Amino acid sequence: MQNPDSGQGGVIFKILDDVSVERRRQPRPIQPRAARTASVLARFFSLFAVWLVLSGMFDPFHMSLGVVSCLGVTLFSLRLLPPRTDAPFPLRPLLRLPGYAIWLTWQIVKSNFWVLYLVFHPRMMDKIDPRLITFKSRLTSRGALTVFANSITLTPGTITVSVNERGHFLVHAIDVKSAEGLPGEMERKIADTFGE
């Protein structure tokens, strides 16, 4: 074994030491304390509001249980989902999401009837023509891509097989009609919802 101070091995150890010193010298990015506190409080009060609606109990005992539970979940979630302070809270998607949810519900109902028609059709084997389709979405944000992938899967007749951060989708469709609608109107509605 070579001496760390001599020869080729010494160079490698020197480089590794320089890298570790370099990492130690870099200061951690400081998050604005007020933004972090506001984010944590918003998370707590959102959880508590949901807890109040779901529990329906407003006596002091149950309210204190709700506070303790929501505080525990908030503190536990900080490691899993650290509060973001680098960007303002996106209010537009939050306000437009209920309209999209209503539209998506209608699409799910229509697709249910279409799949029901396919399944009970006397020539079902002629009608069902499964296929995998690929396309690139124009959506860019992770939130929009996630909503799009989940919306495709929620709609009967289509399942998102894979999606990546660059917006490349692989989708299984039960027939030609289901495949033709992608990306289509659903992508436009999500782009409008998320302002893309």
In the chain, where the domains are located = 7-80, 91-194
Q: What is the pLDDT at residue 108? A: 93
| Mean pLDDT score, 135-162 | 91
Asked if residue 43 has pLDDT above 70, the reply is: yes
Alpha helices in 32-90 (DSSP H): 33-55, 60-80
Question: Is there a contact between 151 and 102 (Cβ–Cβ < 8 Å)?
Answer: no
pLDDT tens-digit readout, 117-137: 998 988 888 889 899 999 999
- Is the CB of residue 171 less than 8 Å from the CB of residue 133? yes
pTM: 0.59
Reply yes or no on whether the pLDDT at 63 is more than 60: yes
Position 39 scores a pLDDT of: 79
What angle do helix axes 184-194 and 91-120 make, rounded to 10 degrees?
160
